[in-house]
Amino acid sequence: MSILRQATTVLGARLGYVRPLYVHYGVTHRCNMQCRMCVVWKEGNAAEELAPAAIRPMADGLVEAGVRMVTLGGGEPFVRRDLPDVVAAFHERGSEVRILTNGIG
């Protein structure tokens, strides 16, 4: 996202045009680790995850609401084989996409 676009969005928020700038979206509860302090991986089920085709309308709605940055997390996002399609669903709509990962695998 350009600095000008960020500045415009922040200025709009300060002037009372309150819009969310950032969203964290948990794309999965599956994980390639089983950390003792975390229970997210116990609930993981690939069949319950939204497919990229179902994520696209959500991404459209977030952009319309003013969201400019999306962080994809979970669980471990890289366990999804379709993660490139999930990233594209947001990126193609102009969102800056970041991925929160454990870095394993």
For the stretch 1-17, pLDDT in tens is 577 777 776 777 667 66
Residue 16 region, left (φ>0) first, then alpha (ψ -120 to 50), else beta?
left
Residue range 20-57, pLDDT digits in tens? 788 999 999 999 998 889 888 888 899 999 999 999 99
Q: How many residues does the chain have?
A: 105
Spatial contact of 99 and 77, defined as CB atoms under 8 Å apart = yes
Spatial contact of 30 and 74, defined as CB atoms under 8 Å apart = yes
Residue range 52-84, pLDDT digits in tens? 999 999 999 999 888 989 999 989 999 999 999
Q: How is residue 89 written in tokens?
A: 């669903």
Spatial contact of 70 and 96, defined as CB atoms under 8 Å apart = yes
